[in-house]
Amino acid sequence: MPEGKIIKALSGFYYVLDGENIIQCRGRGVFRKRNITPLVGDYVEYEAENEKEGYVLAVKERKNDLIRPPIANIDQAVLVFSVLKPSFSTMLLDRFLVLIESKNIEPVICLTKMDLAEEPDELDKYIKDYREIGYTVVETSSKAMQGLNTLQDCLAGRTSVFAGQSGVGKSSLLNAIRPDLELKTDEISNSLGRGKHTTRHVELIPAAGGLVADTPGFSSLDFDEVEAEELSGCFPEIAERGSACKFRGCLHLNEPKCAVKQAAENGEIPSYRYEHYLQFIEEIKERKPRY
């Protein structure tokens, strides 16, 4: 049975890459009965009616998957954040990081529009903080052609998803890396301070020696799949110090002899990161129970 990888899903069709051939496939009805939805990034078995058309018969086991955007088998997530228009937000970045960490996907923080930075000292402090935590931070500007070689090195040989708020420049970055793509970009709406959605579907695009998913932008994330006990594991610097807490299962809230609280008070953990952890855990505790 031939096998391939879904690189695009659109209007009920799955486009399966097998070697250099792309087969346009439909899903068998058995998927609907089993409540299985093939995703971009899935490795599948398919049956070809001819050289260009066929049916997806089976989806191989996934190493990970995301719901928003719907994509599977990702090596790394490039979290694209602009320094201005829209303004850089550590709160939103940390929300993205928690989701990606919870899926055991390696995150890369990519800052765009560096040429527009208005408060470089404050930005440099954030960059230093995230790098000390252990994250890769790439500073880029599509207009100034800054940092593109570094980003390309990160993409080579990997399947990556580009994710971030609308208007941060995801499509502009991909256009700078692969000018022949001519992906549509829109200016930021002055009244809303955010970009229009220019990417309508998920598609894996060959770029910089790897595969890159340009995904629809979105501006909020819910922690529907993260439990309170798991949250600290999505903050590497908190997870590292949590082993020194007096009580096992410490949530680092009001427990006595909490090493994480002590580290936050001593400035070993950035105060905003600990504050975000507290806000997120409160949000998780207050969500409606799932049945």
Burial 95-126 (b: 16+ CB within 10 A, else e): bbbbbbbbbebbbbbbbbbbeebeeeeebeeb
Question: Is the preceding peptide bond at 2 cis, omega within 30 degrees of 0?
Answer: no
CB atoms near residue 12 (< 10 Å): 7
- pLDDT the model gives residue 196: 44
The letter for the amino acid at 203 is E
- pLDDT the model gives residue 290: 62
Domain-wise residue ranges, the chain: 3-61, 66-214, 228-286
The rounded distance, in Å, linking the Cα atoms of 256 and 179 is: 56
> Which architecture, in CATH terms, is 228-286?
Orthogonal Bundle (1.10)
- Across 58-72, 200-214, 246-260, which has the greatest mean pLDDT? 246-260
- Residue 219 above 60 pLDDT? no
As a whole number, mean pLDDT of residues 10-26 equals 93
- Residue 274 above 80 pLDDT? yes
- pLDDT the model gives residue 217: 52
pLDDT in tens, 42-79: 999 999 988 889 999 999 999 998 877 788 999 999 99
Query: How does residue 215 score in pLDDT terms, banded at 50, 70 and 90?
Result: low
CATH number, domain 66-214 = 3.40.50.300
CATH class of 3-61: mainly beta
Model confidence, pTM: 0.86
